[in-house]
Chain A
Amino acid sequence: MTLQTLPFNKALLKKDWKMTKWLCFAVAGILFFTMTLGVINTYNNYQRTIQEMEKHPEWYAGFDIDGYKAELKNLLQDKFKQLSGMEAMLVVFTPMAAAALLFGEEKRKKTFEILATMPFSRTEIFFNKAVIAFANVILPFLINAAIMVAALWLSKGLRDFYSAGMVMSWFGADAFRLFIVLSFSLLFASLTGTSISQLVLTIIFFIFPIGFTGLLYMNMAMWGYRIAVIDEFLNIFGSYTMPGILSNIKEVPITFHLISAIIMLAAAKLLFDRNKLERSGETLEFETIETFFKFGVAVCTSMLIGVIVTGCAGSFIYFTNNVPRIFTIIGYIIGIFLGWFVASYSIKTNRAKV
């Protein structure tokens, strides 16, 4: 059996890293100030409170120092188990940004044309970009994990609050989430032709299953239908959607997400091989999905505008009963035209010049 050597390419790795390293450092910095600094300062804060107690015992009469310590410990444990707002933002947007910088920007600036003339295969280009994207999203978390573990080694007192195992579990959970979002982002990198359309479509489809179900639910409710099955759908399948990976890692179907991420990666690679460079800079890489895209945007906008117009009518006009359905229908009509127009305009304005 012969083993295929992985197509690592030093020149491509160096070039892609140079293009995107700022993202890695920026995310590492944000994560440090929003999480790591707080974690490694826990023992100092605890010590400061004890010193304050000794100085001013009258202020702390009845204060349970052991309870306080346990509370700090619980807080830290929660921090490692649950994603905070900023951490969740970083987990979602860092892979999207890395993929947009490495693929969409190269398409928009047409530097892909130069790469195509150089002695690189498409596989090499995709593989090395994927590696750098993964390094970009993982390294900030790894650096912060290393700082937190190093702090444990330097400060014995910190060991009462958290352990290296807890840090590594936190890192492992986020690495898993980052990998899933990155695979998803790479799929859209191969489907779109500019960084802006790549980012917008990745975000839309990231929230699509929940967003669309929510829209469907609201629209059905407006027509007087209460569909319990939608609630059920969200309860049962919510964890299988992309936003589902942001919940507690114990509730996430890890195998399902890992398999789907690998499928998305393979699809991204196959689609990337079929990308035509003459379509670089266009909203979508494939002409065949343009009608589907316009239709999808029109339907979603129609449902959204229908809800908004009905809501606005209900707020500004007094009706004895429910808001007349004609407002909902007007909203649908406005939305369908608006959605179709916006999608068509985006495709048309970005159309490559012949």
Chain B
Amino acid sequence: MIEVKNLDKSLGGTKILDDINLRIKSGSIYGLIGPNGAGKTTLIKNLVDIYKPEKGEVLISGENIKDNTNIKSRIGYVSDYQYFYPSFKIGEIVEFYKDTYPFWNDKRYIQLMKLFKLDGNKKIKYLSKGMKTQLAILLSLSIMPNILILDEPTSGLDPVVKQKVLNLIVDEVSANETTVLISSHNLGQLEQICDHIGIIHEGKMLLEDSVENLKSNVRKIQVAFKGEFPEEIKSNEHILKIETIGKIHQIVVKDNLDAVIDAIKKCNPILLETIDMSLEEIFIYKMGVEGYDFTDIAL
């Protein structure tokens, strides 16, 4: 289990993380999402002991991560940018990991080398960004981690490899009960694999919930009326947003869907249907509520 308690972190005089609290259950996949500069990478770097918190603590399986070599030997980490020793060959970096991690699994390493089609004799400086990411994922999985922390692990990967990586993560959780935290801007992918989602914005956790709850709490209703859109519906407290395209109105509803449907039904709609929202849409609406300006973004 990963627990973050009242974490504060400043970089260059700017407060990046402000009183962050987080709880990730063992054997779950937690998706961390947020706009650029929200503090995702800073939070992750605190989780893996790259940065030291100014206030608060990071607990992994109940123990503080700070300088804790026992805990670190079971944490796999894939950073947003791969910092490897460029003059090393893949085989040499593998040797380094093998000598370092006590639970290194050769069988799994060989399987993953075949899966990613990496050449052990190739120097790291000649690898593309995507290949370096594949190598980082391979190393993180070969150490047999209890905790896997992945910072945008699919950026720079082609669609086939992306899917392979997502499958590997799911397999890892189901086979070994590994706890996974994954940060990504690709919300479609997170929706596929995550059971919990945390949204971070301006260094604060906006919300944490299961994907199931998130999706049931925020829904979209597609509705059409003979005449104008009824004023009494517009003022309903559960409506987050109304978009109109011709005669069709799309209403984003938070929490109490039934109350809104009842109110719509009273106005005799000619069309009424509920649509599931994607995680991406939920994220955009949630951020919109927080004042994040989407007007300049071409979606």
B-binding residues in A (CB < 8 A): 10-11, 14-15, 18-19, 109-111, 113-114, 116-122, 276-278, 351-352, 354
Contact = CB atoms under 8 A, between A and B. Distances in A.
B292 interface: no
B75 A111 contact: no
A119 B72 contact: yes
17 contacts: A11-B100, A14-B99, A18-B87, A18-B88, A19-B85, A114-B83, A114-B84, A116-B50, A118-B101, A119-B69, A120-B100, A121-B67, A276-B52, A277-B45, A351-B12, A352-B12, A354-B12
A112 to B, nearest CB: 8
A interface, over-half SS: helix
A120 B73 CA distance: 9
Contacts of B100: 11, 118-120
A111 B84 contact: yes
Contact of B51 (A11, A18, A119, A277): A277
B56 to A, nearest CB: 16
Contact of A352 (B11, B88, B95): B11
A227 to B, nearest CB: 44
B48 A117 contact: yes
Contacts of B12: 351-352, 354
Contacts of A354: 11-12, 14, 16
Contacts, number: 67
Query: Which of B73, B88, B92, B96 counts the most chain A CB atoms within 10 A?
Result: B96
Given A118-B72, A354-B14, 16 more contacts: A10-B99, A11-B99, A18-B92, A109-B85, A111-B84, A111-B85, A114-B84, A117-B50, A119-B69, A119-B72, A119-B73, A119-B100, A276-B51, A352-B11, A352-B12, A354-B16
A130 B254 CA distance: 59
Given A11-B99, A111-B83, A117 B75 contact: yes
A277 B67 contact: no
Interface string B90-124: 00100110011100000000000000000000000
Nearest to B95: A14
Interface in B173-223: none
A122 B67 contact: yes
B278 interface: no
Query: Which of A18, A19, A277 counts the most chain B CB atoms within 10 A?
Result: A18
A269 to B, nearest CB: 14
A267 to B, nearest CB: 20
A211 B16 CA distance: 43
A278 B11 contact: yes
Nearest to A106: B85
Contacts of A122: 67
Q: Give 3 closest A-B pairs by Cβ, nearest first.
A: A11-B99, A119-B73, A119-B69
A150 B14 CA distance: 62
